[in-house]
Amino acid sequence: MRLWGGRFEGGPADALTRLSVSVQFDWRLAPYDLMASRAHARVLHRAGLLTDDELGRMIGALDDLEEACKAGRFRPTVADEDVHTALERGLLERLGTLGGKLRAGRSRNDQVATDFRLYLRDHVRTIVSRLVDLQTALMSQAERHVDTVAPGMTHLQHAQPVSLGHQLLVHVHSISRDIERFKDWDRRAAVCPLGSGALAGSSLPLDPRAVAAELGFDAASPNSMDAVSDRDFAAEFLFAAALTGVHLSRLGEEIVLWASQEFRWIEMDDAYSTGSSIMPQKKNPDVAELARGKSGRLVGNLMSLLTTLKGLALTYNRDLQEDKEPVFDSVDTLLLVLPAVAGLVSTMRVNVSKVEASAPDGFALATDLAELLVRKGVPFREAHEAVGHLVVWCQVNDKDFEDLTDEELIKVSPHFTPDSREVLSVPGAIAARKAYGGTAPDRVREQLVSLRVAVDGYAEWASGN
């Protein structure tokens, strides 16, 4: 069963058929192809190309075919070149010659572009729901640990103490940006190619704008040639998915570190960790590692499609069939990874005493000491020097800031009066960072309140409201 062949005398070579067939992966577009077919049938009816009775039978057959697909009673065969071919076969089986009327004014070029957009707009909403689940898990942990003090790091070295809640919320913000990108993407993807035919539009009196509205698009494509060549929506989706993957890899890396013997900040739940086949003691962070590792294929899928698109002549070229697998793979990958990461995050237990004990390590309060001097009028340059000397003195004498006597302080610099010690408190240092965006617990609690409002909005968007 082929949708072409009238002008061919011989049949296709097996090697061509094997190269050309896409039904093994594009079959997942079937529900969207049927949806678009119903809209197309209605537009043919309004154009006077289908009678009332023919439209009724056509819609009935499309509905029946959809049921049969869902129940697995209708399946594509190796002889179907693609999803469009398979479904036309299903229609012909149900309607006989009437089934052959639906293809009027339509080409697989505008059909596949429409199906693909419908599929992606639908799945982007599912992806956003799973992202919201991960945000919710991160926010619950953050809420529990607003007052847990942790060593904040730069260069993976202790830098300044922070609220652990503040650190956890970083990932909620990056995911919010991912979601905003998907929402923004959706506005640009909401343009319907159906009615563009092979490339030039149709001589039949179709109504592309009515079809677009029926399929939930905001507009019909204003240029039929652009409509069948454009895959920006697929490339843009892949970029948003790749960056989401990069964010998941950074969260994954943090969790790998936190679960290590050196950090021991968290204990992973048994349900979200794995063992070793040889070392009985092992408990490994495979979920976090796979989240980190799978970012590779998400980035690769973007590169793959951009490379396919580069230099393509207008309009449709068969190269464009290569658009689907990277996109399907990125959708599948995100939907596979996100629930596991959300489960890992929501079930991990923070080892509060261990995290807090290491918060002041590495002279993490050095900046606070320097800023105290600044408040007393010492130029920051001098204060920075003085505290630097104090750090060296402590290292040589194997002491921490808290262990210093008044005499020792003064000896290093006359700026260090006994009251200097007042700023040497981790909770004090955190509470002092109370300007907007800072790590002070009050600010973190406010951050949580506004994030919850935003995340509720994302959940609503994803559910179609």
Find out whether 443 and 437 touch, Cβ atoms under 8 Å: yes
**Please, which residue, 40 or 433, has the CB nearer to ligand ARG?**
40
**Please, which residue, 146 or 327, has the CB nearer to ligand ARG?**
327
**Please, which residue, 22 or 135, has the CB nearer to ligand ARG?**
22
Q: Identify which of 459, 455, 430 has the alpha carbon closest to the alpha carbon of residue 443.
A: 430
- Answer yes or no whether residue 145 interacts with ligand ARG by CB under 6 A: no
Find out whether 356 and 387 touch, Cβ atoms under 8 Å: no
Query: Rounded to the nearest whole angstrom, what is the least distance from the CB of residue 464 to ligand ARG in the complex?
Result: 27
Query: Rounded to the nearest whole angstrom, what is the least distance from the CB of residue 124 to ligand ARG in the complex?
Result: 20
Among 320, 338, 355, 390, binds ligand ARG (CB under 6 A): 320
Find out whether 271 and 355 touch, Cβ atoms under 8 Å: no
| Stretch in the footprint of ligand ARG (CB under 6 A) among 134-142, 237-245, 313-321, 331-339 | 313-321
Site residue total, ligand ARG (CB under 6 A): 10
**Please, which residue, 127 or 320, has the CB nearer to ligand ARG?**
320
Query: Rounded to the nearest whole angstrom, what is the least distance from the CB of residue 239 to ligand ARG in the complex?
Result: 21
Q: How far is CA 366 from CA 122, 181, 422, 432, in A?
A: 52, 39, 13, 14
**Please, which residue, 7 or 155, has the CB nearer to ligand ARG?**
7
The DSSP element (H or E) to which 135 belongs, if any, is helix 108-144
**Please, which residue, 106 or 171, has the CB nearer to ligand ARG?**
106
Q: Identify which of 277, 292, 188, 287 has the alpha carbon closest to the alpha carbon of residue 245.
A: 292
* Three-point CA angle 29, 30, 34, nearest 5°: 120
Query: Rounded to the nearest whole angstrom, what is the least distance from the CB of residue 319 to ligand ARG in the complex?
Result: 9
Query: Rounded to the nearest whole angstrom, what is the least distance from the CB of residue 29 to ligand ARG in the complex?
Result: 9
Helix axes 108-144, 324-347, angle to 10 degrees: 10
What are 392's two structure tokens? 């060296």
Backbone angles phi, psi at 267, to 5 degrees: -115, 120
Q: Identify which of 34, 45, 31 has the alpha carbon closest to the alpha carbon of residue 105.
A: 45
| Stretch in the footprint of ligand ARG (CB under 6 A) among 45-53, 126-134, 312-320, 408-416 | 312-320
| Stretch in the footprint of ligand ARG (CB under 6 A) among 90-98, 249-257, 318-326, 421-429 | 318-326
- Answer yes or no whether residue 114 interacts with ligand ARG by CB under 6 A: no
Among 141, 167, 321, 447, binds ligand ARG (CB under 6 A): 321
Find out whether 130 and 342 touch, Cβ atoms under 8 Å: yes
Among 30, 112, 162, 248, binds ligand ARG (CB under 6 A): 112
Find out whether 113 and 193 touch, Cβ atoms under 8 Å: yes
Is beta strand 266-267 parallel, antiparallel or unpaired with respect to 349-350?
antiparallel
What are 210's two structure tokens? 């009515």
How large is the C-alpha radius of gyration of the chain? 30
Query: Rounded to the nearest whole angstrom, what is the least distance from the CB of residue 23 to ligand ARG in the complex?
Result: 8
Quote the DSSP letter at residue 313: P
Query: Rounded to the nearest whole angstrom, what is the least distance from the CB of residue 322 to ligand ARG in the complex?
Result: 8
**Please, which residue, 315 or 447, has the CB nearer to ligand ARG?**
315
| Stretch in the footprint of ligand ARG (CB under 6 A) among 139-147, 316-324, 407-415, 424-432 | 316-324
139-145 contacts, C-beta under 8 A, 24 or more apart: 139/168, 139/169, 139/172, 139/448, 139/451, 139/452, 139/455, 140/346, 141/165, 141/168, 141/345, 141/346, 141/348, 141/350, 142/166, 142/168, 142/169, 142/172, 142/444, 142/448, 143/448, 144/350, 145/350, 145/352
Q: Which of the residues are catalytic?
A: 155, 276
Residues 82-111 that bind ligand ARG (CB under 6 A): 82, 108-109
- Answer yes or no whether residue 227 interacts with ligand ARG by CB under 6 A: no
**Please, which residue, 22 or 244, has the CB nearer to ligand ARG?**
22
| Stretch in the footprint of ligand ARG (CB under 6 A) among 48-56, 250-258, 314-322, 361-369 | 314-322
What is the spatial distance between Cα 213 and Cα 289, in angstroms, rounded to a whole number? 44
- Answer yes or no whether residue 22 interacts with ligand ARG by CB under 6 A: yes
Query: Rounded to the nearest whole angstrom, what is the least distance from the CB of residue 2 to ligand ARG in the complex?
Result: 11
Among 316, 328, 416, 458, binds ligand ARG (CB under 6 A): 316
Query: For binding to ligand ARG (CB under 6 A), which residues are involved?
Result: 22, 26, 82, 108-109, 112, 316, 318, 320-321
